[in-house]
Amino acid sequence: MKALIAFIGMAAVIIALIEFNERLKKKRLRDHEITESRDHEDCSDTACTDCSLLDICDKDKKTTI
């Protein structure tokens, strides 16, 4: 009986850790997307040679030409 309770407790802990990990992944992805969108906004304000996202700047140049 104690083994069954321990097994259920261990399963609950594992499920909680998985949920915590998924939330961290989602937050990191959201933070990365925010940073990426800020970099893209900065790219339009500066010259493409100063931008870290040269591929996006090149695409913007091609569409405007």
Sequence ranges of the domains in the chain: 2-64
Distance CA 44, CA 61 (A): 10
pLDDT tens-digit readout, 6-16: 999 999 999 99
| pTM of the model as a whole | 0.48
What is the per-residue pLDDT for 50?
Answer: 54
Residue 1 DSSP class: -
pLDDT in tens, 10-64: 999 999 999 999 999 998 888 877 766 665 555 555 555 555 555 566 555 555 5
Contact call for residues 51 and 59 (beta carbons, < 8 A): no
- The runs of H, that is alpha helices, within the chain are 2-45, 54-64
